[in-house]
Chains A and B, each alone.
Chain A
Amino acid sequence: MRGSTPLAIAFVAPALLLLAAILGWPLISAVVLSLQNIRAIGTGGELIGFDNYAEVLSDATFWRAGGISIVWVLANAVVQTILALITALALQQNFPGVRIARTWVILTWIVPTVVTVIIWRWLFSSSGGMINPLLMQLGVIERPIGFFNTPTTAMATLIFINSWRWFPFIALMMLAGLTRIPSDLYEAARLDGANSWRRFIRITWPLLAPTMGVLLVIGTLLSFNVFDIIWLLTSGGPAGGTRTLPVLIYETAFKSYNLSEAATISVLATVFLMGFALLATRYISKTEAQ
């Protein structure tokens, strides 16, 4: 840091204050809320210390939702990344219509969530949906199944739909990462006798890894906070099998009318996510520095 530090601080101050107001205020109110015993919006309460935290941390429902959240996040990260990588590699090729394909991929991403949900609910429905007949014709299943009827199938279906919604975004980011790899590296590798698989493993993969790392973090944070798709399709059911932490927070706040406890879960989730983001970014900058 050179030059006048007070002046520098003066220059950044407005932006920092704005950030603090936008990001900091809700966080602080959540923390304050979590230390009180307010049940519904508009009702009063008093400071009760860390009672809510003791309550939540000893509640099996919280731990179950936390576990489901982790499964949800990991599964989405894996499915999204694989779908996105295949898509990005395909879109990187030069084939007729590649520009149309690139645009089309963005389109699936900008479809509103509600529309996505309605379309997929209809496709997956056991009466009149297209997926059951398709799977029966392919011989995968013998009779129609209710995809949202068991916790496992409901979870798998949700992961598929959520990944379908988000992979184009990840794919485009990866495509940007891929186009940053100079083409003469591939030419040098061709001259060195590396076939396309080895070029991928030895050139593309290691050079795409930093981008992939960032995308995994972004993808994880995005998936963790997904509420709309889950709520609209299963509302956390059946039998709480898809009740992730955001769903639990919503239910606690607006169904059980326990605003302070919901805030407590939020704060715990935030701490967990911040810890994850901190570790991940530190790991990424360490690998990039190598």
Chain B
Amino acid sequence: MSNLHITSLDKDYSGHQVLHGINLNVDSGEFVVFVGPSGCGKSTLLRTIAGLEDASGGSINIDARDVTRVDPAERGIAMVFQTYALYPHMTVEENMAFGLEMSGMSKAERKQTVAQVAETLHLSDYLPRKPRQLSGGQRQRVAIGRAIVRNPKIFLFDEPLSNLDAELRVKMRMEISALHQRLGATMIYVTHDQVEAMTLADKIVVLRDGRIEQVGAPMDLYADPDNAFVAGFIGSPKINFLQAQVTGRSADGGALVTVPRLGLKNLEVKPRGGMVDIGATVTLGLRPEHFGAPGQGRGPAVTLIADAVENLGSVSYAHAGPDAEEPVVVEVKDQATLAPGGAVTAEVLSGRAFLFDADGRRL
């Protein structure tokens, strides 16, 4: 159980800066997920915490001890790699015991420790096997087991599920979540998959171009994003971004906006704070699930033509607007008759909509 404090962390590769002044606190026992598109610096940040990359500036503290220049093995961290990085010439048992052996633990003690961890991970039968004799999921568990036996202060996971098939990914996600519950350990997890981020994290760190865009609990990021990037990254299917014009203000401080794509005028949207300039061009962010069933009186109704339909069973997604660069996606529940070319009527739950300025900042 340990905490982590990162202060003004910079990382550059021969002049090319990949991390810009990262400040982050991870509390003891927290499950933190770094998420962002490829090249956002999330893996570099994780590797810098591990000590596999040297920080160019700033500091990393684990339990109030400055480890910025400390050897990776001395930081009290363990890492699970995307490729698992199991030693192919060693058995499962030797793989798991390698770190203990390096730390000078006696053979008998190693055997006992590994056996205990293997038991909890259902790996006992596989201890004499070589990694290549295992399935993807088993290898993953060995990699996790190798981390657990070292009893680290912090677990680091670098996209650990990306090499698994979809079904196994869900299963391992649940296992990792259960593992976190059981060990109560501090874990940092890197992924580009926002579903993994949403389901696993106590706290999500959204990164873009080497900067932290927002830090918060999954539901906070979903319901209250700081900017269009975070709004676009969190949530599936992706949020709709629609051009809008501020035409006035309501009595209680809401902005009245015109949204041409939806054919709506004077849609009332609450900005996060302060006033929005009348006449300003803004972006309205409205999630597909915030189109409600018609006739409920929860917002103004719109009718769109569904050019394409994705039926998932319990819900369907109507894609409207073939000529637009980005179609408007509308979630439709309990409407089995939805077919391409058909009309979709829905209410806009404007209370859940966001406004962003031209730079993508939340208004």
Contact = CB atoms under 8 A, between A and B. Distances in A.
A185 interface: yes
B52 A190 contact: yes
A203 interface: yes
Interface stretch (A40-48, A191-199, A247-255, A258-266): A191-199
A30 interface: no
A276 B234 CA distance: 64
Nearest to B130: A290
B99 A193 contact: yes
Nearest to A183: B85
B114 interface: no
Contacts of B85: 182, 184-185, 187-188
B83 interface: yes
Contact of A187 (B52, B78, B103): B52
Interface in B94-119: 98-99, 102-103
Interface residues of A, number: 16
B128 interface: no
B50 A191 contact: yes
A188 B79 contact: yes
Contacts of A189: 87, 98
Contacts of B86: 188
B81 A192 contact: no
Contacts of B82: 184
Given A206-B89, A207-B89, A193 B81 contact: no
Contact of B88 (A193, A198, A202, A207): A207
Given A185-B87, A187-B52, A188-B85, A193 B103 contact: yes
A255 B85 CA distance: 61
A99 B361 CA distance: 47
B73 interface: yes
Nearest to B102: A193
A18 B135 CA distance: 44
A9 B144 CA distance: 50
B89 A191 contact: no
B87 A191 contact: no
B136 interface: no
B184 to A, nearest CB: 22
B117 to A, nearest CB: 15
Contacts of B50: 191
B57 interface: no
Given A193-B102, A194-B102, A207-B88, A188 B81 contact: yes
Contacts, number: 54
A192 B102 contact: yes
A173 B86 CA distance: 25
Nearest to A185: B85
Interface string B179-200: 0000000000000000000000
A184 B89 contact: no
B46 to A, nearest CB: 12
Contact of B79 (A182, A185, A191, A206): A191
A207 B130 CA distance: 14
B72 interface: yes
Contacts of B146: 188, 192
Which of B82, B86, B87 counts the most chain A CB atoms within 10 A? Answer: B87
Interface in B21-56: 50-52
B306 interface: no
A206 B87 CA distance: 10
B81 A184 contact: yes
Contact of A203 (B78, B81, B87): B87
A192 B98 contact: yes
Interface string A206-237: 11000000000000000000000000000000
A167 to B, nearest CB: 26
A203 B94 CA distance: 12
Contacts of A206: 89
A185 B82 CA distance: 12
B83 A190 contact: no
B73 A193 contact: yes
B255 interface: no
Which of A187, A189, A192, A202 counts the most chain B CB atoms within 10 A? Answer: A192
Interface string B59-83: 0000000000000111001110111
Contacts of A192: 73, 98-99, 102, 146, 150
Contacts of B51: 190-191
B87 A190 contact: no
Nearest to B97: A192
Given A184-B85, A188-B86, A191-B73, 18 more contacts: A182-B85, A184-B82, A187-B79, A187-B85, A188-B79, A188-B146, A190-B51, A191-B77, A191-B78, A191-B79, A192-B73, A192-B98, A192-B99, A192-B150, A193-B73, A193-B102, A207-B88, A207-B89
29 contacts: A182-B85, A184-B82, A185-B85, A187-B52, A187-B79, A187-B85, A188-B79, A188-B81, A190-B51, A190-B52, A191-B50, A191-B51, A191-B52, A191-B72, A191-B73, A191-B78, A192-B73, A192-B98, A192-B99, A192-B102, A192-B150, A193-B73, A193-B99, A193-B103, A194-B73, A194-B102, A198-B102, A207-B88, A207-B89
5 closest residue pairs by CB, A with B: A193-B73, A192-B99, A193-B102, A188-B85, A184-B85
